[in-house]
Amino acid sequence: MTSHQSEYQALRSRHVPRGVSHSTPSFIREARGAIMVDYEGREFIDFGGGIGVLNVGHSHPKVVAAIQDQAEKFIHTCFSVAMYESYIDLAARLNGLTPGDFHKMTLFLNNGAEAVENAVKIARYATGRPAIIALDGAFHGRTLLTMSLTSKVKPYKYKFGPFAPEIYHMPNANCYRCPFGLKYPSCATACADHLEDFFVSHVAAEQTAAVIAEPIQGEGGFVTPPPEYFAKLQAICRKYGIVLIIDEVQSGMGRTGKMYAIEHWGIAPDLITTAKSLAGGLPLSAVTGRAELMDSVHAGGLGGTFSGNPIACRAALAVLDILVEEGLLAKAEALGVKARARMDALQQKFELIGDVRGKGPMLAMELVQDRERKTPAAEETKALVQLCHDRGLVLLNCGLYGNVIRTLMPLVITDEQLDRGFAILEASLETVSVNRAAGIR
Structural contact between residues 318 and 65, judged by C-beta atoms closer than 8 angstroms: yes
| Residue 439 pLDDT class (50, 70, 90 cuts) | confident
Instruction: Decide which of 325, 347, 380 is a domain's last residue.
Output: 325
Which positions ≥6 away from 262 have C-beta within 8 Å?
A: 99, 215, 230, 246, 248, 268, 269, 272
- Domain shared by 228 and 307, yes or no: yes
Is the pLDDT score of 283 beyond 80? yes
For the beta sheet containing 208-213, the strands, ordered from the edge strand earlier in sequence to the opposite edge, are 104-109, 285-290, 271-274, 243-247, 208-213, 131-135, 167-170
Q: State how beta strands 404-407 and 362-370 pair.
A: antiparallel
CATH of the domain at 24: 3.90.1150.10
Of 291, 308, 325, which one is at a domain's C-terminal end?
325
Last residue of a domain, one of 305, 325, 345: 325
pLDDT tier at 21, thresholds 50, 70, 90: confident
- pLDDT single digits (tens) 142-166: 999 999 999 999 999 999 999 999 9
Averaged pLDDT, 175-195? 97
Percentage of residues of the chain with pLDDT beyond 90: 92
Q: What pLDDT sits at residue 2? A: 63
Question: What was the pLDDT predicted at 441?
Answer: 66
Q: Are residues 433 and 335 in the same domain?
A: yes
Cα within 13 Å of Cα(147), Cβ side = 15
Checking if the pLDDT of 1 tops 70, the result is no
The model's confidence at residue 201, banded by pLDDT at 50, 70 and 90, is very high
Q: Which residues contact 33 (CB under 8 A, 6 or more apart)?
A: 57, 58, 410, 412, 413, 414, 417
For residue 357, pLDDT beyond 90: yes
What is the pLDDT at residue 23?
Answer: 77
Cα torsion angle, 209, 214, 215, 220, sign: negative
At residue 254 the predicted structure's pLDDT band, cuts being 50, 70 and 90, is: very high
> Considering all CA atoms of the chain, what is the largest pairwise distance in Å, rounded to the nearest integer?
66
- What does the pLDDT look like over 295-304, one tens digit per residue? 999 999 999 9
Contacts of 58 (CB under 8 A, 6+ apart): 31, 32, 33, 34, 35, 36, 46, 281, 410
Least confident of 2-11, 88-97, 149-158, 254-263: 2-11
Task: Quote the mean pLDDT of the chain.
Answer: 96
What does the angle CA 383 – CA 386 – CA 389 come to, to the nearest 5 degrees? 150
pTM (2 decimals)? 0.96
**Are both 312 and 174 inside the same structural domain?**
yes
How confident is the model over 65-112, as pLDDT tens digits?
A: 999 999 999 999 999 999 999 999 999 999 999 999 999 999 999 999
Instruction: Please name which of 339, 363, 359 lies closest in space to residue 419, comparing C-alpha atoms.
Output: 339
How confident is the model at residue 125, as a pLDDT? 98
Split into its structural domains, the chain has a count of 2
Q: What is the mean pLDDT of residues 253-265?
A: 98
Residues 315 and 407 in one domain: no
State the Cα–Cα distance between residues 243 and 201, nearest whole angstrom.
20
Q: Are residues 279 and 137 in the same domain?
A: yes
Question: Which residue range forms the structural domain that includes residue 429?
Answer: 3-56+327-437
What gap in Å lies between CA 172 and CA 225, rounded to an integer? 8
Mean pLDDT, range 181-193, rounded to an integer: 97
Question: Tell me, what's the pLDDT at 4?
Answer: 75
Residues 315 and 341 placed together within one structural domain of the fold: no
Phi and psi (nearest 5°) for 194? -60, -20
Rounded-to-integer distance, Cα 352 and Cα 20, Å: 30
Q: What is the pLDDT of residue 5?
A: 78
Q: Evaluate whether 137 touches 151 at the Cβ level (below 8 Å).
A: yes
pLDDT exceeds 60 at position 316: yes
CATH number, domain containing residue 176: 3.40.640.10
Tell whether 318 and 332 lie within a shared domain.
Answer: no
76 and 24 in one domain? no
Examine the domain organization and report whether 83 and 185 are in the same domain. yes
Q: Looking at the structure, tell me whether residues 333 and 321 fall in a common domain.
A: no
Domain check: are 175 and 264 in the same one? yes
At position 14, the amino acid (one-letter code) is R
Residues 265 and 382 in one domain: no
